[in-house]
Amino acid sequence: MSGTCAACDCELDDNPIKVTVGGNTVEVCCDDCAQALREADASQAQGSGS
């Protein structure tokens, strides 16, 4: 399976990291991108709760 990283648009290798963001599962290329998406999702969730 091939594709691009949901965070940085780099090509994914054979073992992408799956991250759930906003109820959807996306694939990223590395831990840094996974962490960035998790932080963005958490920030958005906090903002919509107020």
Predicted confidence band at 44 (pLDDT cuts at 50, 70, 90)?
A: confident
Residue % of the chain over a pLDDT of 90: 72
pLDDT at position 49, please?
A: 60
Mean pLDDT of 5-17: 96
Tell me the pTM: 0.81
3-state secondary structure 1-50: CCCECCCCCCECCCCCEEEEECCEEEEECCHHHHHHHHHHHHHHHHHHCC
Over range 12-36, report the average pLDDT.
Answer: 95
CA nearest neighbour of 20 among 47, 48, 40: 40
Tokens 């906090």 label which residue?
46
Confidence band, pLDDT 50/70/90 cuts, at residue 7: very high
Please provide residue 43's backbone torsions phi and psi, each rounded to the nearest 5 degrees: -65, -40
